[in-house]
Amino acid sequence: MTTPQSIVPLAAWLDPERVFCGWADRFENAFWLDAGPGATSARSWVGIGESVASTVVEQVVVRGSVAEDDSRSDERGPRPGGWVGWFAYDGGARRAGAPTLSDSDDETRWMRVRAVVEFDHATSRATVFAGGDARELATELAALPHPGAVGEPTPVVASSRHDAATYAALIEQCREQIRQGNAYQLCLTTRFEVEGAVDAVAAYRRLRRGVSAHHGGFVRIADRALLSASPEQFLDVDRGRVRTHPIKGTRPRSADSVIDAELAEDLRTDVKERAENVMIVDLMRNDLSRICEIGSVTVERLFDVESYPAVHQLVSTVAGNLFPGLEVGELLGATFPAGSMTGAPKLSAMSILQRLEGAPRGIFAGCFGWVSLQGDLDLAMVIRSIVVENGRAYVGAGGGITWLSHPPSEVAEVVVKARGPLAALGASVPSGWTMVAPDA
């Protein structure tokens, strides 16, 4: 399946932020899949589109075999006719058979791409792709004003779904469920909220400067906007080869290089963190084995430490060759919600977490990204993210709980993860959280 498109290379490089600010100001449905400030590799995409039902995306047939049509590898990305959006956590949990506290699929939203500017950071080349006349768009882009400096918001203290003491008590309840044999690991989460109107574009500009990420982005569809500094790629499908990159295990960064290196090494060798990571690796191996050719599922890397401005993370990669003819919905049915945001065994973990957390997760812990007409896709986890909707903004955060978990350390990890997104809103965590986690 193809869609007619016009392609025009730009004569000169444009800052993606300039295009994003111009289009986000003009169009309701807009996105920026962002390689990050100062990127020298990878690609970014800024685009616009029209809302579509998520079922349209779920029915897309995933691209063929690993050996098929290597010549089209340069077509990867959200081109016109493809889709950009997100799948919310609760809809995925419900389809997987877990109880949820939300009966609505309204939180899941997608747009069909109408026009996009692709920025190749390795070559400093930008190209306009449009379903209509890309030449007209290219002319308009050259005339876009440079965005001014983004201002700082009024400081505010966020509210929290659970206070720190309650969250610590929930950690102990997770440990009790593990002791009873009902789960091996549980990804417990909470939410911080900021009431009042939020300028989503300004907040994202602050977020990307404060929390650098490989899989960040801004997606606004109708009255909801997702602003993400996600470090975790959930699913990448390229010509029938699927990869997932679960993150489990976190340490804060230090300004002292010696201490920072010690923190990274402590993460790499920590028994609890490695156990937590390998449980999710095994879960994802099981998930992928349901939709991949026999013998093709492999662990490509295990226990790698990746470092970001605020945290070190323990990352692994699982991959496999997909059965031919799969639809996106079938792929998600086997893998979503991601095991890194549920725990293991997955169905039991989701059921326990629904009881303990006591409220829907919404878009947080879901996934977002693009699906192409050819059936390739790239979806990141909705973590280290802000959701703006209905006169408020919220930030979800949490961590994996095992029998070896230490509640004060887990509380501190939540603060580390939430601080960056909250700072983009001018918000701080409630005082009780910093008192329980003074070193976070």
CA distances from 359 to 7, 152, 163, 362, 418 (A): 46, 31, 14, 9, 18
Average pLDDT, the chain: 93
Q: Catalytic residue among 58, 107, 232, 330, which?
A: 232
* Dist. CA 374–CA 7, nearest whole Å: 17
| Angle 388-389-393 from CA coordinates, rounded to 5° | 45
The first and second tokens of residue 129, run together, are: 């792709």
Q: For position 259, what pLDDT does the model report?
A: 96
Q: For position 436, what pLDDT does the model report?
A: 55
* Dist. CA 350–CA 94, nearest whole Å: 10
pLDDT, average across residues 414-425 = 96
Q: For position 66, what pLDDT does the model report?
A: 53
* Dist. CA 270–CA 273, nearest whole Å: 5
Q: For position 439, what pLDDT does the model report?
A: 44
Please check the confidence at residue 22 and state whether its pLDDT lies above 80. Answer: yes
Please name the amino acid found at residue 1.
M
pLDDT in tens, 152-163: 999 999 999 999
Q: For position 205, what pLDDT does the model report?
A: 98
Please check the confidence at residue 440 and state whether its pLDDT lies above 50. Answer: no
- What is the residue extent of each domain of the chain? 6-147+156-436
pLDDT tier, 362 (very low <50, low <70, confident <90, very high otherwise): very high
pLDDT, average across residues 93-98 = 95
pLDDT, average across residues 232-257 = 93
User: Taking the CB of residue 55, how many other CB atoms lie within 10 A of it?
Assistant: 11
Contact 42, 316 (CB under 8 A): no
pLDDT, average across residues 58-80 = 74
pLDDT tier, 213 (very low <50, low <70, confident <90, very high otherwise): confident
Q: What does the buried/exposed string (b/e) look like for 338-350 if buried means 16 or more CB atoms within 10 Å of the residue's CB?
A: bbbbbbbbbebbb
Pairing status of strand 216-221 against strand 30-34: antiparallel
* Dist. CA 4–CA 254, nearest whole Å: 51
Q: For position 102, what pLDDT does the model report?
A: 76
pLDDT in tens, 245-282: 998 888 888 999 999 999 999 999 999 899 989 999 99
Please name the amino acid found at residue 258.
V
Contact 314, 247 (CB under 8 A): yes
pLDDT in tens, 40-58: 889 999 999 999 999 999 9
Q: Which of 255, 320, 330 is nearest to 289 (CA)?
A: 320
**Looking at per-residue confidence, does 64 or 122 come out higher?**
122
Q: Is 173 helix (H, G, I), strand (E, B) or coil?
A: helix
pLDDT, average across residues 73-102 = 91
CA distances from 202 to 205, 209, 236, 409 (A): 5, 11, 29, 32
DSSP string, 249-317: EEEE--SSHHHHHHHHHHHHH-HHHHHHHHHHHHHHHHHHHTTB-TT--EEEEEEEEEE-SSEEEEEEE
Phi, psi of 301 (to 5 degrees): -155, 155
pLDDT tier, 65 (very low <50, low <70, confident <90, very high otherwise): low
Q: For position 68, what pLDDT does the model report?
A: 52
Strand partners for 170 = none
Contact 186, 178 (CB under 8 A): yes
Q: For position 438, what pLDDT does the model report?
A: 44
C-alpha torsion sign, points 285, 286, 290, 293: positive
pLDDT, average across residues 371-375 = 94
Q: Is 411 helix (H, G, I), strand (E, B) or coil?
A: helix
Contact 343, 400 (CB under 8 A): yes
Is 6-147+156-436 assigned to CATH 3.60.120.10?
Answer: yes
C-alpha torsion sign, points 57, 398, 31, 77: negative
* Dist. CA 342–CA 337, nearest whole Å: 7
Please check the confidence at residue 64 and state whether its pLDDT lies above 70. Answer: no
DSSP 99: -
Contact 308, 212 (CB under 8 A): yes
Whether residue 272 lies in the annotated active site: no
pLDDT in tens, 329-360: 999 999 999 999 999 999 999 999 999 999 99
Q: Which of 54, 136, 112 is nearest to 336 (CA)?
A: 54
Q: For position 69, what pLDDT does the model report?
A: 52
The first and second tokens of residue 39, run together, are: 């990127």
pLDDT tier, 302 (very low <50, low <70, confident <90, very high otherwise): very high
Q: For position 214, what pLDDT does the model report?
A: 83
Please check the confidence at residue 4 and state whether its pLDDT lies above 80. Answer: no
State the distance between the two ends of the chain, measured CA to CA, in whole angstroms: 50
Contact 86, 382 (CB under 8 A): yes
* Dist. CA 235–CA 242, nearest whole Å: 7
Percent of the chain with pLDDT over 70: 95
Q: Catalytic residue among 17, 58, 107, 248, which?
A: 248
